[in-house]
Structure 1
């Protein structure tokens, strides 16, 4: 492979920053709770969640699915080394798209992060990291957004408006007040005036970029109810037209819709469109309820109530509306008191001298005084054996000087002798076959309650406290099914060695001795840690036709025209509005997507660009989890084009190695793109965007597991290459360590 292409393919990963830079040492946090939700058959989901034993059994969280889901099996709990494995099956007839998943602690939240994975039958995988203190996540829609799912999104706006009208007795009072005032023609005129006023208010609010407070907006309806009820008390011959009152109430309500009904994220920046749809939903509901009320009782025309009854209703509506208006103004909504950052956290068990803090999790027992310790980390493409040795306990075999300090010039020779002592007497077999050791690192280490850290620069070592860490790597072609770690013999004077074996999900510790010199690990992982890299195809742009809704409109168009030609303009207009609202409500049924011929070169929306970037970015991070250079290049080439890239591959590899953590690699757990701020047309059918994304990963090193998460702001260029999206360039604008 040409060197220019090799170097070019890797430049993007350096610009990405990776969550593995040395500056992130202080960001270590406790290993998160791991939740996996897998769709086994349509609507049936197996939920497994793994909880570190750092959380007591009685304080384990539960995973709560939407109320519509029902459990089909009891919750089972299985004890694993270092964790609890929970399992339960649910049936969710409507799936999980757009629904909320919650993490519920029975006692108090310990401030634990949660890693959520959702695998659907379609092959789509969703990953999300809940930060400490967060306990809910809304699963994204399959095609979220106004352009990706237009009719479903439009239905949301209409349905929200309909629901808002039915929510609260004040709106019902408006319906009754309209019915009391006159016949069908009068009622239709008032409803139409109210809807027109709302549209005017929405336009003014959208133009000014502001909205009335909710109490004032609803107060406009209360005032209208009072005035309508008062007018009903007049003799019919003296009643005045109330169209102006209805328009004014509509304007006031329209000015406050933005606060009464916050725009869903699926509408993006199109707040005004959502508010117009909500007005249409409210208008249709108001028309149906008013006409139904008039038809059921013939409240005003054919079977008029007695004057006494009408006056009682009018006074009751007026008094109730005044009470509602006062309550809206005087009674302020209650808000939860803001909790301190440490609220809801379990007390720390660390003593005053323990500097590890709340953000460090041990996966091995704390034994800083033992002469030799063995740590084995099992990952997708390697088994890493880390051996920690206190030099004074093996002074004879390695020829340790009797001086108080070990001088810098003596240290390389001591490292070599430690390796010569340890490597020949340790062995690792993977899936029953012996493997060749590769000495990856040998470092003098600082060992304390803070953990194990390599020296950034050589220093004179105090002989009594000097430790050396030897990292031996055994490469594998895939995730092992069985690994055995054994010691053929122990260094002179050593009778036992604690050995901790850690995989991506659990850890187990055993004490090795002459009678039991080996420990075996069996693969019981919930999820294969081997990364997958899949090309992201350029999907053709489509127009989605609501076939059922179009047929519905066509069928009802004839009677509407019939009424209109007979001169029933008000009735025809009312029926048309209700028909349109109903058509939009059923629009998602029977959708048909028709591909457009000009797919390439069209600039995607911010939602579409976010989905594309969220699919491509994980491929870049996963590519660097492979160990063989050729495998890295091949995987990286799936999502990166080398046309404009430069020679920074080796620099990135050095960043990836995490020198401060002794060369341990991070396993990327979650890559999320919460925001794409702008999208501009690019060259060659591509586009340029500015986005924010977060990356979280774990590192296991000498008995500690660390989780870190970074946030990046960057400009990204994506282009279509042979039918797939690829990253051409990235300009990193900002990097923030979240944890």
Structure 2
């Protein structure tokens, strides 16, 4: 074969390609495989101003602009697309207020660029951009705003990002957020203390951030799933806070309006959500898988006032609302081992930060999708079980009684009858003496065997000193409130019966239970942390039949814990009690509540 021919052929092919390529039709070239938008947001008290920078590429993608035969977008088509794109931006970039209501915006200005005479080439679409100034008027300063975007073509597979810089008026320190399609981001705005300026010290920033955590009660990320595990003496409780948008990936939440969950739709939503969580994330207590009781399911708006206390039921926004689920698992006494297995992941749940409150100990744990074992295990470090509630026998007075043997009583009766008979029969003196001696011997021999006892009618009732009365009442009050540590109603009644006379049981049960309820927390019964008798006076002497009367005042400090917060209230009661030594133990037989003063509810974070 000719070697010249071997080297000449590739050269000929190359020259042919060089001449043919310019003649081939050009395919439109997209300069970037992702739709990028930049947003600079200024939040003022009376309005929000958004500067949206949009590449010409987006006009090509969303406004149907076609390149000409030279592969350029014509200037006229670009200008028409620029005008049409206003409606697209107002529809696809949205801001919602604290109630989830869509704010109405208006394009007030478009910043142009110098248009090339021939138009813009397909390879230069990312080199030119328009800036749309959009204003959203506000009726009042915004406490929370929820931003979202849908800068995507549903028929195409291109991803989209909006890089957002948010600045609150009064600060020069912006917040940076990247918005992804259908993934809202909620931001808080504190007008009493806005973010600091850039020249603030580290200590000032630490103080500002700590205050924000306190204000937000530790829930600072509005798109995260939070898990709280409480381990107590008679109960394990699992509480979950989850955004509705995240939850709907796993649970069907029927609604008429995709943007809102209305009041009349929430009961069915509760049923669906409760069934979902009751069937997953099993908890094992001392080797036994315990079935949960769904205590409560609430739908919270984004505002702090909705979250810190039980808010009235209302319509909530799917964009920023969260579901709060409380599941309780009963146990007979202080558990030794508890295991929580998280198995409810979905496309939006990849990581769950869980906080464990085991009595006075606080720990953090993270569940991650893809791990071989997503289990948190707790072992009792040595906390003993709570002692049972016992009868109050301290300082119990003793009755003065007279005991008589039955044989002695019979002997005395026989001796009396015999003496009367001998006297009436004119028996001899010797016979009467013999009978008397025999009677004495029988009586002396009868001091044994079974006996009977009765109160000494001449004895005075014992005196109950005021100090002793205070001690008795303090123990009885401690017992009454301890009874409500139990979760089962029968156990509560059994414990109350140790300190309360039978006919009064139901009355005291209802009075104490109502006093411990925190209506702000949905009627949850608080756990008593402290009972303090602040004053007390005994009124009148002790009587065996009616006991003694005690006028007193006492404080009760109760707490309810939810979502990592402690809600504390101290209430004071004034009452007159009647205490009786009943069935060989002290019991309250009468209760007359004179006054009840419920303290202010205080809410704090439970810290590590």
Give the TM-score normalised by structure 1: 0.41
Q: Which has the higher contact order (CA 8 A, sep 6+)?
A: 1
Q: Quick check: which one's strand share is greater?
A: 2
The alignment's TM-score, normalised by the length of structure 2, stands at 0.50
Query: In proportion to residue count, which structure has more helix?
Result: 1
